[in-house]
Structure 1
């Protein structure tokens, strides 16, 4: 009679089991950090030059091929067109992307000032006062 084709790791040493766990999951001692929740009120990052190009390309592609409903076909055609373009043909899209980035940076700066400025401004005014002081009123029986 033949033995079964599969084997379990129950007969192996604990070190071997740890090595198998490392191979499967990476380092078992490493704890993954939780990502920060994104603020829905924060400004969105601007599109790059290729995506600015794709906005215009999608419109022209739909005009030329109205029956095509495939998103992947539009993406492939846009990618091929972008690769075949020269740097001088791409320049307007890089300029538009740079303008969008400048607008985004202004919006982000004003957003950060609103978020941080309101909280810090109130605390800076009261910074010379100690929050641990106890203020007694005149005639208070608990006064030391």
Structure 2
């Protein structure tokens, strides 16, 4: 291509990057809210929660804190997070250390077991 432009030349000189929208430095004025406008109706979840909260308070009048109900789930989440951190650290060291030395095949264990079962079924038929 003598004298012609390459794709990289046209990309560099063609389109310039724009900022986050036209007039990003200028703020558009919001329309004033009409105080007489009716509220939107609640979604089905909020309608459900309205009744559920009343029933829950009647069934559990002594329970003033959600933290008591939440505590076992917080403990489970922390346990899972520490397990994840251990796994991700081992994964990162494996990537940094060897990289492509995978002794295992691309098949999952269930696929390997399925292959063994299928081959065993064929041998029984003989």
Fold conserved (TM > 0.5)? no
Q: What TM-score results when the alignment is normalised by the length of structure 1?
A: 0.28
Q: Using CA pairs under 8 Å that are at least 6 residues apart, name the structure with larger relative contact order, 1 or 2.
A: 1
